[in-house]
């Protein structure tokens, strides 16, 4: 019997087509909204099915041939088969849909969505290495979807060209090392200017293999770092073998130094647009004290500090905080202070949470900032800017903030930080309602 025809009505948060069959939701990888498809159910669950696309009978006008030959196997991209403009529109719909569905909210005003260069934008990547001793072959690339299998790449069109150009020669070089099986990951990062390569091993490589990688990095003009993975599943411990990279937060803005293992926003151009939007929305004045939660190595802190009286940055990673302090020093911004705290829990009695602030910025990881919301509402701020990489947790937190009756969602917008994938950044802005009433 032929698999049934399905009408695809939407796109899921992870980029799969969504259809209904016998009252049950079906997620179809590779299908697009508006399409009529045949698919095969690969996994039946209680509340939904997962399916493999077999045939597209009526294609979306926005479907295109994926530019990368690895698309469909490589776990790095999920939306290359959708035109660039339609990807941006889909992300916009996803943010609007999450705010409406989860929080019952619409912003007072939508910010113009910010598009990116569609390819060559990704400034850093963490690639897996798999050594097949029998075939004496190295697979270097991203893992395939949810599996541990590494898709062997010879190039990657979303990576910054300087980093992408290292993939094929590195795979060839690793295959000729004395101990190729000891290389587990390559961390690539580009700066403005500069290129760095982190080689994560378990156990550490012997001197001759290290020397060959050092010669390769020198020939490519890349700073080389070695990392050792002490136990399975642990993060590499890196040696700082060379100078840091740097990037600019704006044309004339503070310049931040970093190493390839530090969290930095993946897309420099969209990051600059996001910083500019945060500055425009918060509009810090010379008398304002700003609190920034999840501040990392100072990506927003330092631009804010060029305008505000004072910025207090809070972050959980002590290593990143050292670099935030260093970056403040390098940029001559003495009006910053940085505090280490676990922001996954409520800040019971912490000094930073007892102070008063005029403005707040938060940029949490994917799971959002649920534990902080009661404290946020008590800080006295007139405006909160919330940068998010997960529309669902942003909407969940927005619902809590606005349900307390004290805050309203004034602006929201999409920043297309990761084209060709289902991921994007959002900015949501909340005003304290009492402040808005006073201003009227």
Ligand X SMILES: C[S@@+](CC[C@H](N)C(=O)[O-])C[C@H]1O[C@@H](n2cnc3c(N)ncnc32)[C@H](O)[C@@H]1O
Residues belonging to the active site:
389
Contact set for ligand X, span 223-282 (CB under 6 A): 263-265
* Tokens (6 digits) for 161: 């060209």
CB closest to ligand X, residue no:
316
Non-local (6+) Cβ contacts of 92 within 8 A are 113, 414
CB of 86 to ligand X, least distance (A): 26
Q: Which is nearer to ligand X, 79 or 427 (CB)?
A: 427
CB–CB of 322/301 below 8 Å? no
Q: Which is nearer to ligand X, 165 or 344 (CB)?
A: 344
Closest to 2 measured CA to CA, from 26, 47, 34, 37: 37
CA–chain centroid gap for 126, Å, is 13
Q: Which is nearer to ligand X, 16 or 262 (CB)?
A: 262
When asked if residue 352 is in the footprint of ligand X (CB under 6 A), the reply is: no
Candidates 10-18, 23-31, 237-245, 294-302 — which segment interacts with ligand X by CB under 6 A?
294-302
What is the spatial distance between Cα 301 and Cα 297, in angstroms, rounded to a whole number? 8
3-class DSSP state for residue 225? strand
When asked if residue 342 is in the footprint of ligand X (CB under 6 A), the reply is: yes
User: Exposure string (b/e) for 389-421, b if CB count within 10 Å is 16 or more?
Assistant: bbbbbbbbbbbbbbeeeebbbebbbbbbbbbbb
For every residue of 309-345, DSSP letters joined together read SEEEEEES-HHHHHHHHHHHHHTT--SEEEEE--TTS
What is the spatial distance between Cα 401 and Cα 118, in angstroms, rounded to a whole number? 34
CA–chain centroid gap for 315, Å, is 17
Contact with ligand X (CB under 6 A) among 117, 365, 408, 436: 365
CB of 412 to ligand X, least distance (A): 18
CB of 186 to ligand X, least distance (A): 22
Q: Which is nearer to ligand X, 118 or 364 (CB)?
A: 364
Task: Sort strands 255-258 and 245-248 into parallel, antiparallel or unpaired.
Answer: antiparallel
Contact with ligand X (CB under 6 A) among 288, 363, 390, 431: 363
Closest to 298 measured CA to CA, from 277, 272, 327: 327
* Number of residues this chain uses to bind ligand X (CB under 6 A): 17
Q: Which is nearer to ligand X, 53 or 111 (CB)?
A: 111
Q: Of all helices (H) and strands (E), which one includes residue 434?
A: helix 433-439
Q: Which is nearer to ligand X, 264 or 267 (CB)?
A: 264
When asked if residue 164 is in the footprint of ligand X (CB under 6 A), the reply is: no
Three-state helix/strand/coil letters over 175-215: HCCCCHHHEEEEEEEECCCCEEEEEEECCCCCHHHHHHHHH
Contact with ligand X (CB under 6 A) among 60, 182, 299, 312: 299
| Cis-peptide into 193, omega within 30 deg | yes
Candidates 101-109, 166-174, 340-348, 397-405 — which segment interacts with ligand X by CB under 6 A?
340-348
What is the spatial distance between Cα 312 and Cα 335, in angstroms, rounded to a whole number? 9
Q: Which is nearer to ligand X, 216 or 386 (CB)?
A: 386
When asked if residue 344 is in the footprint of ligand X (CB under 6 A), the reply is: yes
Contact set for ligand X, span 314-333 (CB under 6 A): 315-317, 320
When asked if residue 300 is in the footprint of ligand X (CB under 6 A), the reply is: yes
CB of 165 to ligand X, least distance (A): 26
For every residue of 103-138, DSSP letters joined together read H----SEEPPPBP--SSS-B-EEEEEEEEETTTTEE
Q: Which is nearer to ligand X, 171 or 290 (CB)?
A: 290
Contact with ligand X (CB under 6 A) among 166, 343, 392, 422: 343
Residues that bind ligand X in the complex, under the rule CB under 6 A: 263-265, 294-296, 299-300, 315-317, 320, 342-344, 363, 365
């Amino acid at each position: 019997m032929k698999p049934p025809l399905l009408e695809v009505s939407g796109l899921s948060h992870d980029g799969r087509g969504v259809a209904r069959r016998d009252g049950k939701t079906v997620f179809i990888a590779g299908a697009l909204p508006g399409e009529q498809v045949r698919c095969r159910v690969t996994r039946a669950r209680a509340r939904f099915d997962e399916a493999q696309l077999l045939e597209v009978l009526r294609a979306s006008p926005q479907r295109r041939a994926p530019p990368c030959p690895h698309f469909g196997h490589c776990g790095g991209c999920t939306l290359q088969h959708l035109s660039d403009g339609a990807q941006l529109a889909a992300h916009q719909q996803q943010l609007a849909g999450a705010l409406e569905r989860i929080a019952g909210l619409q912003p007072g005003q939508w910010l113009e969505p910010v598009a990116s260069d569609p390819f060559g934008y990704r400034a850093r990547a963490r690639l897996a290495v798999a050594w097949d001793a029998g075939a004496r072959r190295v697979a270097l690339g991203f893992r395939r979807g949810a599996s541990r299998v590494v898709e062997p790449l010879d190039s990657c069109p979303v990576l910054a060209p300087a980093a992408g150009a290292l993939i094929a020669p590195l795979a060839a070089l690793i295959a000729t090392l004395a101990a190729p099986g000891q290389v587990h990951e390559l961390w690539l990062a580009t700066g403005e200017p500069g290129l760095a390569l982190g080689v994560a091993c378990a156990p550490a490589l012997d001197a001759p293999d290290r020397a060959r990688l050092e010669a390769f990095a020198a020939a490519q003009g890349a700073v080389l770092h070695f990392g050792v993975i002490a136990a399975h599943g642990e993060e590499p411990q890196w040696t700082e073998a060379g100078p840091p990279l740097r990037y600019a937060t704006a044309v004339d803005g503070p310049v931040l130094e970093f190493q390839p293992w530090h969290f930095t926003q993946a897309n420099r151009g969209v990051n600059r647009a996001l910083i500019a939007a945060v500055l425009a929305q918060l509009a810090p004045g010379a008398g304002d004290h700003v609190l920034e939660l999840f501040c990392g190595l100072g990506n927003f802190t330092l631009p804010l500090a060029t305008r505000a009286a004072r910025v207090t940055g809070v972050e959980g990673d002590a290593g990143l905080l050292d670099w935030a302090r260093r970056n403040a020093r390098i940029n001559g911004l003495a009006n910053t202070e940085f505090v280490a705290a676990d922001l996954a829990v409520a800040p019971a009695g912490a000094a930073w949470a007892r102070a008063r602030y005029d403005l707040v910025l938060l940029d949490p990881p994917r799971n959002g900032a649920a534990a902080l919301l009661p404290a946020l509402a008590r800080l006295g701020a007139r405006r909160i800017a919330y940068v998010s990489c997960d529309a669902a947790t942003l909407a969940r937190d927005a619902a809590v903030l606005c349900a307390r009756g004290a805050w309203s969602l004034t602006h929201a917008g999409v920043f297309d930080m990761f084209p060709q994938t289902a991921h994007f950044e959002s900015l949501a802005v909340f005003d304290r309602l009492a402040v808005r009433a006073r201003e009227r």
